[in-house]
Amino acid sequence: MEKAGITPMQIIVAATKKAAHVCNLGDMIGTLEKGKIADALIVKGNPLEDLEALLGPRLVIYNGEIIREIK
């Protein structure tokens, strides 16, 4: 997607918010909002500058609970 000229922000939104919408799950997942299932990936670096930062998660939160932490 990046090679096609799509920005990192557009790629991240497509993989989260838009994907949840297409799967009819947008009311439960896809964005960080009150009332939604809390899944988050914390990375070292800024994925908006370098998408490869997403390949090295530092903390994974699934359903509101930490399931993986790398120090």
Given pLDDT bands bounded at 50, 70 and 90, which one contains residue 11? very high
Q: CA–CA separation, 45 vs 37, rounded Å?
A: 24
Tokens of 7: 């920005």
- Residue 60 to residue 39: CA distance in whole angstroms: 8
Q: How far is CA 14 from CA 20, 22, 48, 70, 71, in A?
A: 9, 10, 14, 26, 29
Query: Chain-wide mean pLDDT for the chain?
Result: 94
Q: Cα–Cα distance between 42 and 67 in angstroms, integer? A: 12
Please compute the mean of the pLDDT values over residues 3-18 and round it to a whole number. 96
The percent of residues in the chain predicted with pLDDT above 90, rounded, is 86
Count: domains in the chain:
1
Domain interval for residue 16 = 2-69
Instruction: Give the CA distances from residue 31 to residues 3, 4, 36, 71, in Å, rounded to whole numbers and listed in that order.
Output: 25, 24, 8, 26
* Mean per-residue pLDDT, 36-45: 92
pLDDT attached to residue 38 = 85
